[in-house]
């Protein structure tokens, strides 16, 4: 039961990462780097408020991807409330999604 | 037993290590007295069991005990007993087993060298000349060896042990310290306030009908002569007789070689002695695995080490059981894994009190040491078998590589990390029952998983090393990553790594690494350190170093 629950959560983190990657496909390298830096610093101090403030602020500008952003917010919301260990996982999934978007762009 | 050529061998282990030690001791006795190896002995028992147990065994046993006494009395005495052993007659005509034993006893009592006269108070008694000498020292107080018992009483005890008479002696019925020095004495059985020891001779007989005989021979299972100067005896035990017999034989050969090479163990520190014995045990096991591949039982194995009593004492000074469990044995069965684990690792200087003391005394000498001098090395196989988490040792090895600018051992490190990770993950997810399905499937799935994990670690370690061109940059990155890992700070580790990723100009293959980090470091609370360390090893291995980069794909 516990294993199933963990696997289910892992699948959700994976989904969040994938959604972030898709939403941030067209972000510039410089902006991405700055954003990742800010987010990493927020994780470092376990500052959930600052982290999500920054994420939601950027997501709010993605009006073209409104559908995907809504899905992502729903997925993040379903995990609430987050323990510090869960926050760590969600936050890194979000950041890895942003970096993946950059990596993918370079590969293409 | 699985893989055994002979489906019903005459002698086979019971799973009770004490009786099994007696069986091995019985085999050793017959080999030492008559020169029959295990195979020959099995044949002879199959041909005629009675002849073995009622003729050859009583004569051989008594001659052997007397020989142990004579050894202390000089060469001449040894020759005398050897002459008697050489003249042991072939089996006479007999009508039944009692008749055969009577004839054996008659032959024994007709040899003056095997008989002695002893004063007991005002009278003199005649008795078989046996006492707890040499290897039989461990049988102190056992009725057969009691100095006050005359020849008739000794005969009765021998007959009852052979099953020719009802056992009358209480000491032989309720097994306690008198019979096995591994047990407490009857009065010390704490949980049994209203009865004697629960272990009685009938329990042992139900495991093996010859169990009473094997009580007499268990001291001979231990290797003692070659380790005499260390004061202890060892015995390798697995639940398979052939395997145990072969490994113990190999052990003797290696110990003999050590002696011949004049690497005397007693000159070594206690820690090194332990290590040397452990190592040669493993050489013997590995040799035997190769030779007896089809017989390799993959069962639990133990190294039993004892210090026999000294002087007037009756208690064993030390008993140590070093277990080698089935999980580890299953993994070691794989040639490739075994070979990789059979590697020495530098782990740098030990941090501890002793070093601290030495430092104070010998600061200048320490300063003059070159970078590898005085470094402690570990044998990976030993750590693995001892069930210490190999990860901790690999962390030390990486620390050493980082400090000395050396390359860590790439292949062996990653294999060991993969094994360690899979064992941790398996322990977390598998059933907690002792005899789970995995136990009976011999953990074969685990070996496949280890190989898969190893391939993953190798490919990702190579990928990360290719991301950085500048050697200095690699070293600069390795330090904070290692520091974070040492503190088990996952956030700091991933943070440092991701910041570096965002600064990279070339981002090819980054997605594979990101997937790896997500799957194995972020989402993995059980063994994330293993995967993280693999990345550090990848970064470090490609640096120059004395041995050059040893990175290569399988």
pLDDT, tens digit (0-9, with 9 covering 90-100), for B461-501: 999 988 887 788 888 899 999 999 999 999 999 999 998 88
B80 near A CB under 8 A: no
pLDDT at position A108 is 34
Domain segments of chain A as ranges = 2-107
A99 near B CB under 8 A: yes
- Structural tokens at position B334: 């794989």
CA distance A24 to chain B (A): 14
CA–CA gap between residue B381 and residue B326 (Å, rounded) = 15
Identify all chain A residues contacting B522, using CB atoms and an 8 Å cutoff.
Answer: 13, 88-89, 92-93, 96
- Can you give the length of chain B in residues? 554
Q: Read off the pLDDT band of B367 (50, 70, 90).
A: very low
Tokens 């690792």 belong to B345
CB proximity list for B41: less than 8 A, separation 6 or greater: B10, B11, B27, B30, B31, B52
pLDDT at position B472 is 83
Q: Read off the pLDDT band of B229 (50, 70, 90).
A: low
- Structural tokens at position B550: 């040893």
pLDDT over threshold 80, residue B178: no
B319 near A CB under 8 A: no
For residues B64-72, average pLDDT: 87
Q: Read off the pLDDT band of B100 (50, 70, 90).
A: very high
User: Do A96 and A17 form a contact (C-beta atoms < 8 A)?
Assistant: yes
In degrees and rounded to multiples of 5, residue B309 shows phi and psi of -65, 155
Q: Read off the pLDDT band of B403 (50, 70, 90).
A: confident
Domain segments of chain B as ranges = 17-221, 223-324, 333-541
CA distance A56 to chain B (A): 20
Instruction: Give percent of chain B with pLDDT exceeding 90.
Output: 27
User: Do A20 and A90 form a contact (C-beta atoms < 8 A)?
Assistant: no
A82 near B CB under 8 A: no
pLDDT, tens digit (0-9, with 9 covering 90-100), for B374-394: 667 887 877 777 667 789 889
In degrees and rounded to multiples of 5, residue B95 shows phi and psi of -95, -40
pLDDT at position B454 is 94
- Structural tokens at position B147: 């100095």
Count, in order, helices (H) and strands (E) of chain B.
25, 7
Cα–Cα distance list, B154 to B105, B107, B358 (Å): 11, 15, 59
CA–CA gap between residue B73 and residue B502 (Å, rounded) = 82
B487 near A CB under 8 A: no
SS3 (DSSP) at A19: helix
pLDDT, tens digit (0-9, with 9 covering 90-100), for B120-143: 878 888 999 888 888 888 888 888
User: Do B454 and B418 form a contact (C-beta atoms < 8 A)?
Assistant: yes
3-32 of A, contacting B, C-beta below 8 A: 3, 10, 13-14, 17, 32
Q: Write the ipTM.
A: 0.83
DSSP codes joined into one string, B445-503: HHHHHHHHHHHHHHHHHHHHHHH---HHHHHHHHHHHHHHHHTT-HHHHHHHHHHHHHH
CA–CA gap between residue B215 and residue B10 (Å, rounded) = 18
User: Do A40 and A95 form a contact (C-beta atoms < 8 A)?
Assistant: yes
Within A1-108, residue ranges assigned H as helices are: 2-23, 29-44, 48-60, 66-79, 84-107
């Amino acid at each position: 039961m516990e294993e199933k629950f963990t696997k289910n959560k892992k699948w959700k983190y994976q989904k969040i990462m994938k959604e972030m990657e898709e939403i941030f496909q067209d972000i510039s390298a410089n902006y991405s780097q700055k954003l990742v830096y800010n987010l990493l610093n927020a994780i470092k101090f376990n500052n959930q408020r600052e982290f999500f403030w920054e994420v939601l602020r950027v997501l709010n500008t993605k009006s073209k991807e409104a559908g995907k952003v809504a899905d992502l917010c729903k997925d993040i919301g379903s995990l609430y409330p987050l323990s510090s260990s869960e926050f760590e996982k969600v936050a890194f999934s979000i950041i890895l999604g942003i970096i993946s978007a950059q990596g993918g762009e370079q590969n293409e | 037993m699985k893989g055994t050529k002979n489906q019903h061998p005459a002698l086979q282990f019971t799973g009770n290590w004490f009786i099994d030690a007696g069986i091995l001791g019985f085999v050793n006795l017959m080999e030492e007295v008559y020169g029959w190896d295990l195979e020959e002995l099995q044949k002879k028992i199959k041909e005629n069991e009675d002849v073995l147990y009622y003729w050859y065994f009583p004569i051989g046993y008594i001659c052997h005990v007397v020989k142990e006494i004579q050894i202390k009395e000089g060469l001449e005495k040894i020759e005398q007993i050897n002459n008697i052993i050489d003249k042991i007659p072939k089996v006479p005509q007999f009508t039944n087993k009692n008749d055969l034993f009577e004839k054996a006893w008659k032959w024994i009592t007709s040899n003056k060298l095997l008989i002695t006269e002893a004063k007991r108070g005002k009278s003199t008694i005649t008795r078989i000349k046996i006492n707890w000498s040499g290897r039989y020292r461990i049988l102190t107080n056992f009725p057969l060896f009691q100095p006050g018992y005359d020849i008739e009483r000794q005969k009765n005890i021998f007959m009852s042990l052979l099953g020719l008479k009802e056992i009358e002696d209480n000491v032989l019925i309720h097994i306690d310290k008198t019979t096995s020095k591994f047990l407490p004495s009857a009065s010390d059985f704490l949980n049994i306030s209203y009865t004697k020891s629960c272990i009685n001779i009938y329990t042992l007989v139900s495991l093996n009908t010859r169990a009473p005989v094997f009580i007499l021979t268990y001291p001979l299972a231990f290797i003692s002569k070659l380790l005499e100067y260390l004061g202890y005896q060892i015995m390798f035990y697995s639940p398979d007789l052939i395997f145990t017999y072969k490994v113990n034989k190999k052990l003797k050969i290696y110990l003999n070689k050590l002696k011949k090479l004049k690497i005397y163990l007693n000159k070594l520190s206690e820690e090194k002695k332990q290590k040397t014995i452990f190592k040669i045990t493993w050489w013997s096991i590995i040799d035997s695995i190769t030779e007896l591949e089809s017989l390799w039982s993959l069962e639990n194995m133990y190294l039993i080490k004892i210090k026999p009593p000294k002087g007037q004492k009756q208690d064993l000074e030390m008993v140590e059981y070093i277990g080698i469990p089935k999980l580890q044995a299953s993994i070691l069965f794989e040639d490739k894994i075994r070979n990789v684990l059979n590697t020495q690792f530098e782990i740098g200087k030990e941090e501890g009190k002793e070093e601290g003391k030495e430092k104070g005394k010998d600061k200048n000498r320490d300063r003059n040491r070159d970078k590898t001098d005085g470094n402690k090395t570990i044998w990976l196989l030993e750590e693995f078998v001892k069930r210490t988490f190999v990860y901790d040792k690999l962390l030390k090895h990486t620390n050493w590589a980082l400090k000395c600018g050396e390359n860590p051992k790439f292949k062996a490190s990653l294999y060991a990390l993969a094994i360690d990770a899979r064992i941790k993950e398996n322990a977390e997810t598998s059933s907690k029952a002792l005899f789970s399905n995995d136990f009976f499937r011999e953990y074969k799935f685990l070996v496949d998983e280890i190989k898969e994990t190893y391939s993953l670690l190798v490919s990702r370690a190579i990928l990360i090393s290719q991301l950085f061109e500048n050697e200095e940059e690699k070293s600069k990155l390795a330090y904070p990553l290692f520091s974070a890992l040492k503190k088990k700070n996952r956030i700091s580790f991933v943070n440092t790594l991701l910041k570096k990723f965002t600064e990279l100009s070339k981002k090819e293959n980054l997605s594979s690494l990101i997937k790896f980090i997500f799957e194995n470091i972020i989402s993995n609370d059980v063994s994330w350190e293993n995967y993280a360390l693999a990345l550090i090893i990848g970064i470090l291995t490609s640096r120059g170093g004395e041995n050059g980069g040893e990175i290569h794909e399988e």
